[in-house]
Chain A
Amino acid sequence: MAKANGPTEPERPDGVVLSEEQKRRRRARSIAIASVLGFLVLLFYVVTIVKLGPNVLNRPL
């Protein structure tokens, strides 16, 4: 908002602005969480196959 008697201030963005370091850490955390979730999906899939047993692949076509 420009003042009545003085130079105009540059507009400041709304909300919190993160520094580069904070952005880097946030990205690292996001990648870590995504990796863990992906690993969990894989784990559940593999364990399901294991629990079904070897005959899961033996089915008449």
Chain B
Amino acid sequence: MSDVSVSMDKGPATADLAEGMASPGDFIALLKPRVMSLVVFTALVGLVRAPDHVHPVIAFTALLCIAVGAGAAGALNMWWDADIDAVMSRTRRRPIPSGRVTPREALAFGLTLSCFSVGVLGLLVNVLSAALLAFTIFFYVVIYTMWLKRSTPQNIVIGGAAGAFPPMVAWAAASGSVGMESLLLVAIIFFWTPPHFWALALFRAEDYARAGVPMLPVTAGADETRRQILLYTLFLAPLAVSPSLFGYAGLGYGIVATVTGVGMVWLAYQVYRTRTGDAAVKAARRLFGFSILYLFLLFATLLVGAFVPGI
């Protein structure tokens, strides 16, 4: 933290000096930029794969609002979880636990961006997408962050729906409706979320236990978590191929989804099989890293397929 000094008059109008110390970069950090980039990418795929043509400026506006809405949800999550973030090594350098931003500033920032993103999306694009974005923010902040995260080991299973909605919101922005393909994209991300986050939780279990978050490895143990990871992955792999089977995507996507799905299942099986020592940690880290690449490849192929026939 930089050294700042203020001289104070001991009069009645003393300001709260912890506020007003943050830089714009600190506020941007509240938005969870890495999560935002994933949201924008999946939303972009939903946007381009929607059946109706949308003007590029309207498309840009929709993506911007979805990105800002996701960032606002992230800021509100950081506001609510500041106590947990301070305890966990992974999150203690975030703006609020490190003292760069006060909780009140984060709350005001998150609420303002939430209202603006939904309002602008409704005014400039359409009401359906704005309503879906509002629901997404509400689901992530209230249902997941304030309720599920601290109360059930199924927190990221149910709460993961919020991360799955952006392609559907973008689809609605482009077409004014919710299509079957967009629901498939939501389902893919929804069933990808548990193996992704539980792989992380396997090698961060102590952190979550210290913070009192009931992640599955903390409540049910590592072995049960490994079993659940494998089961979800066995369901996810064919689900990810289904757009090709239903005719929404071409053969190229089917091949990519099959090959990467085999990779996911193999790595999930390695996590299931390898239960002790450094090898178990490495297996979980490998699955976690590959799961990010897996989702990226699926959606990147869908994106290319929107412009190149046969993919």
Contacts and interface: CB of A to CB of B under 8 A. Distances in A.
B22 interface: yes
Contacts of B58: 47, 50
Given A16-B6, A47-B58, A29 B11 contact: no
Given A21-B2, A46-B57, A16 B14 contact: yes
A19 to B, nearest CB: 5
A60 B247 CA distance: 49
A29 B124 contact: no
Interface residues of A, number: 22
Interface residues of B, number: 26
Contacts of B3: 21
B4 interface: yes
Interface in A39-61: 40, 43-44, 46-47, 50
B67 to A, nearest CB: 13
B255 to A, nearest CB: 38
A14 interface: yes
Contact of B24 (A32, A44, A46): A32
Interface in A4-59: 12-19, 21-22, 25-26, 28-29, 31-32, 40, 43-44, 46-47, 50
26 contacts: A14-B9, A15-B11, A16-B6, A16-B7, A16-B14, A19-B6, A21-B2, A21-B3, A22-B6, A22-B21, A25-B21, A25-B23, A28-B23, A29-B23, A29-B24, A29-B27, A31-B24, A32-B24, A43-B120, A43-B124, A44-B124, A47-B57, A47-B58, A47-B61, A47-B124, A50-B55
